[in-house]
Every structure is written in C-alpha cells, then in structure tokens.
Amino acid sequence: MRARILTIAFALLASSAPAWAQDWPNRPVTMVVPYLAGGPVDTVGRIMAQGLSEVLGQQVVVENVGGAGGMTGAAKVARATPDGYTFLLGGTATMTSVPALNGKKTQYDPLTDFTHVIQFADSARILLTRKDFPASSLQEFVAYAKAHSETLKYASSGTGAGAHVCALLLDQAMGLKITHIPYRGTAPAMQDLIAGRVDYLCEQVSTAVQQIQGGTVKAIATMGLSRSDVLPDLPSAGEAGFAINCASLSAFSFPKGTPEAIADRLADATNKAVALKSVRERFATLGISVEPPERRTREYYRNSLAPEIARQTAVLKAAGVTAE
C-alpha cells in the first residue's frame, strides 16, 4: 500500500512539474557535498554555492555529508525528494570510482538513480614525490621505478580513491606493480610524503600547489593529456608519451525523477556561474580548470559515466583491488 501511495504521489508530482518548475527556485536550495568540510571538494562546492546563489537569486546552502568515500552523501541525494531542492556535488569519485570499487555493494546506481545535470570543472592530478627523490622528469621517474620497484611505496587517500586509481594507471603504463600504502584521507598521505615515509602520491593540484611552491614535495608531471593552468611549466604525462588521464571532475546531479526543466535550469545557471569573474579567479588560485563548453552539457556528462566506470573497474580488477 505504501509503495502504491508513493507511486501515485510521484506521478502527481511529475504531472504538475511543468508549472512549478518554471518558478524554480523560490526558496533556498541544498547542495550536498559528500565529504567533510575543508577538503578540496568542499572548497569547490562553496565557491560554486556562492556563484549559483548570485545567478539563481536564491541561496544555495552547502550540507556536508561525509563517509564511505563519498558514497554516504551520494546515497542521501539518490533517496531525496526529487523536487529540485536537493542536489549533489559529485563527479569522478562518487559516480565512477566508488561504483567501480564497490560494484553491487554501492548504495546507489550511478546510471539510473540520478538526473544528471552537468560536469563543470577539472582539478588535474600531479605526480608528486618526496623532495629528495632522485628524478626530476617522468622519464627519469620511470627509469628509477623500474630499477627500484621492490622498495618503492606510493600513498593514496584510500583504496579505490582517485589518487589510487591514478597510481594504478601509472603502474600499468610502466609495466610495474608498486607497493600501495592507503591512508584515511589526503592530509595524512601528504604528511607522510613530506616526511619521506612514502615515495610518491598522485594528488589533485588544488591541494598540492602550496606544497609544490613551498618546496616540501617535488612535482614530476601533470597526470593528464595537457598541462595545468596553474603549473604551466610542468610537463604532462601525455607529452612524455604516456596516455594517462587522471581527471578529478566536479559535476552536479539531482535525484532521479527531478523535472527535466529544473535540471536544464541548473545546467544553465552552472554555465553562467563558472563564467563569473569571482568564480574563475578563485578556481585559478586552486589550479581548477573550467571544462570547455562542449563538455558542459547534460548529454556529455550522462554519456561519459558508463565508459569511465568500465575503465576504472578494469583497472582495479587487473590490479586485484577490491573493497575493504
């Protein structure tokens, strides 16, 4: 009976959506950030919340829901009422890495439980080493790794996290299997890299740039096909002949069933927000690049998810990595 009532309720909601969707939003909107406050994703969320509030004329409130590598917050949004007043700041981790690692144990289906809106930003990953690492280019790094593969160790913010997947892609490109040391978050992994207890880490430029500029770690290469805007003199893996692309994308998604008109409205507002000078300048200081216009469409984001999940699943399977 309860299921039938819910079905009728959602049907009524959908039938009336065109009328009230035109007035969206007429009250504050909640952006769920699936990580604790203070981290790189939270920073992006707060910058965008301010920009979207300006564009929409209603306050966008950030709600931090951490846990399970982003799965807890994403699951909360998947179960939320699809009325347009709760949406997720997701992207690479929640929509591809978590499902790739957890498979059927993921608390949501990234392909069917959301109304996906838009991907809008990319924080490049950088191959960082301890400051006294005896290599200064990717070619030198690979040569050293092949000669010392049994003793090298790399850090990540957790098994299956973006930093881990990126290091596994590097492993595959080098034809090696380096020892992985997972940490509970980026901060302790970075601390041990600075202290020299691990040899390298594939971290987002937004959290790495201060350490690079401060000389506490060494930047070897951008782990992508192009250079980072914030580190334009740092060569990319692509330039060194390695087809590695470790993007850390930011994107928005509503719960499944949210009216298309509202999803279109948020996509349009997001494109306007990332064009604001205040947003662009803050992104630039963090090394975050706004996606090009052809990638900032609803269709592009929807179509990109299944292939990326398959790619990451294959990487983890080949390395024998499973959820802890």
Q: What is the CATH number of the domain that holds 295?
A: 3.40.190.150
In the numeric block, the tokens 């509030």 are attached to: 53
Instruction: Determine the residue type at 55.
Output: V
How far apart, in whole angstroms, are the C-alpha atoms of residue 31 and residue 86? 6
Question: For 22-122, where are the alpha helices, taking DSSP H only?
Answer: 40-56, 71-78, 92, 98-102
| Full domain range(s) for residue 179 | 125-222
pLDDT of residue 14: 52
Per-residue pLDDT of 96-153, as tens digits, reads 999 999 999 999 999 999 999 999 998 889 999 999 999 999 999 999 999 999 999 9
In a domain, 252, yes or no: yes
Per-residue pLDDT of 40-62, as tens digits, reads 889 999 999 999 999 999 999 99
Same domain? For 161 and 301 the reply is: no
CA 21 remoteness from chain centre: 29
Q: What is the DSSP letter of 322?
A: -
Whether residue 22 contacts residue 239, with contact meaning beta carbons closer than 8 Å, is answered with no
Confidence at 11, pLDDT banded by 50, 70, 90: low
Same domain? For 164 and 91 the reply is: no
pTM of the complete model: 0.84
Confidence at 39, pLDDT banded by 50, 70, 90: confident
Whether residue 306 contacts residue 160, with contact meaning beta carbons closer than 8 Å, is answered with no
CA dihedral (66, 71, 72, 77) positive or negative: positive
What is the DSSP code string of 276-306? SHHHHHHHHHHTEEEPPGGGSSHHHHHHHHH
In a domain, 303, yes or no: yes
Q: Which helix (H) or strand (E) holds 31?
A: strand 29-33
Domain count, the chain: 2
Task: Spell out the residues 6+ positions from residue 7 whose beta carbon is closer than 8 angstroms to its own.
Answer: none
In a domain, 323, yes or no: no
Per-residue pLDDT of 257-313, as tens digits, reads 999 999 999 999 999 999 999 999 999 888 888 999 999 999 999 999 999 999 999
In a domain, 232, yes or no: no
Q: What is the DSSP letter of 294?
A: G
In a domain, 253, yes or no: yes
